[in-house]
């Protein structure tokens, strides 16, 4: 299982009045990780959409252990957890620069045809590029 690391910093905008990064941002950070993992396969998600597919989110989950604070570096560790002909699940760990896990989560996706918005089988060429990332 290949893990892709992305890095971002907690923006002031992402803090809330508890003085920590608001929990909804974790879901957005997951998306950064997904984008970077796609890019690593050789098919950026931008290209995947241009080829006619959408990878829509059908489920997400996140467990929060330790908050991130403003300006903290967030390391997003993304991997592919499950693959089926029409769906795909990503797994995420959010760690700090010392490697301590702050949160874990997943997102489950379905392949849709971009025009009809109906579920379709994954683009075979794209899936070949994902092969080295599959569990």
- Active-site residues: which are they? 16
Cα-based angle 72, 76, 81 (whole degrees, multiple of 5): 160
Distance of closest approach, residue 103 Cβ to a second copy, in angstroms: 10
Q: Binding a second copy by CB under 8 A: which of 5, 28, 51, 121?
A: 28
The least CB distance from residue 48 to a second copy, in Å, is: 11
> Is 92 an interacting residue with respect to a second copy (CB under 8 A)?
no
**Is the Cβ–Cβ distance between 112 and 56 less than 8 Å?**
yes
Is residue 52 a contact point for a second copy (CB under 8 A)? no
Sign of the C-alpha dihedral computed for residues 58, 32, 77 and 71 taken in this order: negative
In this structure, the number of other CB atoms found within 10 A of the CB of residue 110 comes to: 17
> Least distance (Å) from a second copy to the CB of residue 18?
6
């Amino acid at each position: 299982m290949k893990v892709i690391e992305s890095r971002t910093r907690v923006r002031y905008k992402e803090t809330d009045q508890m003085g920590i990064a608001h929990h909804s941002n974790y879901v957005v950070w997951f998306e950064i990780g997904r984008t970077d993992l796609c890019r690593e396969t050789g098919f950026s998600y931008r290209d995947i959409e241009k080829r006619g597919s959408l990878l829509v989110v059908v489920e997400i989950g996140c467990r929060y252990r330790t908050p991130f604070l403003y300006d903290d570096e967030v390391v997003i560790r993304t991997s592919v957890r499950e693959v089926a002909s029409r769906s795909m699940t990503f797994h995420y760990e959010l760690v700090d620069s010392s490697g301590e896990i702050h949160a874990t989560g997943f997102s489950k996706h379905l392949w849709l045809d971009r025009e009809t918005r109906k579920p379709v089988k994954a683009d075979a060429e794209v899936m070949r590029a994902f092969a080295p990332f599959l569990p």
